[in-house]
């Protein structure tokens, strides 16, 4: 079983008739999915998504894949294939198109409709190539066959990539719901046909590889939603992913049945459902929707609000409602339905929102106390089915954290894939498929690219560390005036502190220590401002650590006269 090594060097030149795969995101993490395929000097990119920041990345809005590997070869890209329209697969597309606007975007009708709507906000008009399941289309040396897969968003596709190096099957995100709401099944027949033809490398979704059995059908959610509506006395507020069209459809169907009006809250929710409705993926009965600005005019027992914020995002509608920072005020008797799964890492934020909603008297129904959501990702039983149907010569788990990748690799071993043909890679690791064998051959630089407001890539790990220190420990600023020739103290020190938790009067104890340290430096003939700052930082830092066991950011300001 191959796996990455921290000592990996740059990959060698690609052998003739070899296929290289370099994942730039989605391996070792949930999100930021992106993979680059290279054959004969040409590139095919599959997905281009974002990762949402952790609490220890303050101020960061989004995390992008690192485009450095392809930045010098943008005109070698034949196309960008988008398997489906979730943010972790399309969210970084606007940032890639800033670097080359005419990269053809290949995807299903809904996927392209949602990405076009997103790009319009960036004032971009993409080059679109619409495809359907069972269609084959060539992009340079890459012949792509698109295969229907079931997921938590309509119109998802897997893609089989044919080159002289062999057939690579990339499943995208998928599950095997046998009773999907839209009747669109994962095409197991196509998987079996490819298996008979010979899959040289299977790249398969690993998100639920640790979950035994099969994922529950979406249809089993409807009775639970109906029960929530039947027992709700006042308003119903539903939080869902803005892309979960199936779930929104179920909510609208329940609202119509129980005589309630529906209002959509949140820009992304309104935008996505507008596109889905226009393209026929969302069926909205006449008169059901009302403008969110008119919702207060309706009796509470007659309305349903569908909003974003199911993951505890601080600026989303539901979080703001929980914090009393939204025009819609949660009241006693309201029912809040969190109709989504919990993305790993968001537990604390979601629990905070649930507690906030309970505080104002709402009844909160969530996955922990009712079956109000099912996953969009295949569980272990379904993954075994795909492995047995496709019979891959080589296997590479994708889309998951390390534990998911390893669990999926173990499943592949159980179905007979030889250990030496199972490749566990991570972001930036180059995997070559040559002569029917997949091997790790090197690695390229591949870090996180942080988006902070309009800034892309300017925030570094050092800056994030500074932000964490400021947030956790505060800062202390010490201003002094020194003689530029002798380095002697002529004014100050003046000490200002914010967030350090230290009483301002307590700094009287460290001022003599600063003065003494600066006298010693001046006596040694040092007048360099950098040396003086270093002395102040060391003196104050030692005092704070010894006295308070804290490590605030210390900012010396030296004015030379």
Torsion sign, CA atoms 335, 296, 315, 324: negative
Asked if 333 and 278 touch (Cβ cutoff 8 Å), the reply is no
Q: Is 522 exposed, middle or buried (0-12, 13-18, 19+ CB in 10 A)?
A: middle
3-state SS, residue 555: strand
**Distance of CA 304 to CAs 153, 288, 292, Å?**
22, 10, 10
Question: How many angstroms from the chain centroid is the CA of residue 286?
Answer: 35
Confirm or deny that 375 is annotated as ligand binding: yes
Place of tokens 């066991």: 549
Element spanning 166, H or E: strand 166-170
Residue 319 sits at φ, ψ, to 5 deg, of -60, -40
| Four-CA torsion 145, 151, 155, 158, nearest 10 degrees | -10
Largest CA distance in the chain: 86
DSSP string, 12-63: PPPPTT-EEEEEEESBSBSS--EEEEEETTEEEEE----BPPPTTSTT--EE
Using a 10 angstrom Cβ sphere, with 0-12 exposed, 13-18 middle and 19 or more buried, the burial of residue 205 is: buried
Distance from the first to the final alpha carbon of the chain? 66
Q: Could you tell me if 176 and 188 are in contact, meaning their C-beta atoms sit under 8 angstroms apart? A: yes
373 is in an annotated binding site: yes
Q: What is the 3-state secondary structure (H, E, C) of 437-462?
A: EEEEEEECCCCCEEEECCEECCCCHH
Residues facing 365 on adjacent strands: 337
Contact call for residues 54 and 345 (beta carbons, < 8 A): yes
What is the C-alpha separation between 28 and 425, in angstroms, rounded?
9
* Burial degree of 71 (CB within 10 A; 0-12, 13-18, 19+): exposed
Task: Report residue 8 as tokens.
Answer: 């990996």
Tell me how far apart the alpha carbons of residues 529 and 516 are, in angstroms, rounded to a whole number: 17
Residue 374 assigned to a binding site = yes
Query: Which of 440, 434, 430 lies closest to 21, judged by CA?
Result: 430
Of the candidates 293, 258, 245, 225, which has an alpha carbon nearest to the alpha carbon of residue 114? 245
Enumerate the known binding-site residues for substrate. 373-377
* Positions at the binding site: 373-377
């Amino acid at each position: 079983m191959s796996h990455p090594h921290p000592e990996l060097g740059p990959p060698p030149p690609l052998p003739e008739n070899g296929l290289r795969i370099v994942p730039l995101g989605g391996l070792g993490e949930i999100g930021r999915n992106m993979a680059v395929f290279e054959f004969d000097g040409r590139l095919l990119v599959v997905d281009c998504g974002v990762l949402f920041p952790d609490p220890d990345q303050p101020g960061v809005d989004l995390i992008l894949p690192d485009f450095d590997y392809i930045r010098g070869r943008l005109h070698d890209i034949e196309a960008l294939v988008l398997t489906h329209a979730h943010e972790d697969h399309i969210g970084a597309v606007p940032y890639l198109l800033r670097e080359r606007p005419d990269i053809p975007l290949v995807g299903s009708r809904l996927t392209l409709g949602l990405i076009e709507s997103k790009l319009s906000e960036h004032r971009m008009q993409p080059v679109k190539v619409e495809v359907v399941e069972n269609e084959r289309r060539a992009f340079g040396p890459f012949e792509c066959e698109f295969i229907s897969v079931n997921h938590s968003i309509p119109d998802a596709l897997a893609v089989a990539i044919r080159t002289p190096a062999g057939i690579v099957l990339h499943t995208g995100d998928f599950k095997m719901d046998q009773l999907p709401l839209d009747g669109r099944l994962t095409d197991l027949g196509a998987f079996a046909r490819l298996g008979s033809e010979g899959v040289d490398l299977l790249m398969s979704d690993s998100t639920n590889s640790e979950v035994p059995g099969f994922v529950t059908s979406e249809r089993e959610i409807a009775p639970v939603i109906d029960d929530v509506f039947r027992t709700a006395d006042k308003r119903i507020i539903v939080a869902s992913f803005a892309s979960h069209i199936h779930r929104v459809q179920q909510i609208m169907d329940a609202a119509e049945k129980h005589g309630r009006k529906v209002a959509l809250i949140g820009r992304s929710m309104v935008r996505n459902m507008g596109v889905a409705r226009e393209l026929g993926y969302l069926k909205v009965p006449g008169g059901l929707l009302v403008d969110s600005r008119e919702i207060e005019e309706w009796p509470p027992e007659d309305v349903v609000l569908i909003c974003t914020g199911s993951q505890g995002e601080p600026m989303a509608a539901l979080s703001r409602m929980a914090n009393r920072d939204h025009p819609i005020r949660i009241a006693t008797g309201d029912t809040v339905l969190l109709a989504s799964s919990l993305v790993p890492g968001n537990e604390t934020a979601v629990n905070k929102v649930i507690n906030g909603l309970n505080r104002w008297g709402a009844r909160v129904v969530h996955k922990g106390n009712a079956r109000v959501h099912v996953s969009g990702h295949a569980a272990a039983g379904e993954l075994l089915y795909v492995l047995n149907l496709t019979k891959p010569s080589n296997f590479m788990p994708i889309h998951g954290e390390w534990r998911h990748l390893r669990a999926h690799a173990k499943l592949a071993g159980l179905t007979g894939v030889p250990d030496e043909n199972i490749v566990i890679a991570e972001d930036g690791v180059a995997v070559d498929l040559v002569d029917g064998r997949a091997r790790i051959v090197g690695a390229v630089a591949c870090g996180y690219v942080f988006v902070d407001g309009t800034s892309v890539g300017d925030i570094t790990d050092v800056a994030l560390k500074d932000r964490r220190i400021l947030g956790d420990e505060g800062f202390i600023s010490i201003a002094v005036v020194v003689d530029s020739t002798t380095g002697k103290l002529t004014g100050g020190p003046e000490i200002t502190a914010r967030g350090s938790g230290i009483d301002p009067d307590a700094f009287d104890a460290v001022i003599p220590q600063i003065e003494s340290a600066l006298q010693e430096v001046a006596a040694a003939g040092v007048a360099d401002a950098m040396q003086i700052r270093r002395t102040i930082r060391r003196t104050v830092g030692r005092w704070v650590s010894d006295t308070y066991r804290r490590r605030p950011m210390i900012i010396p300001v030296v004015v030379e006269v």
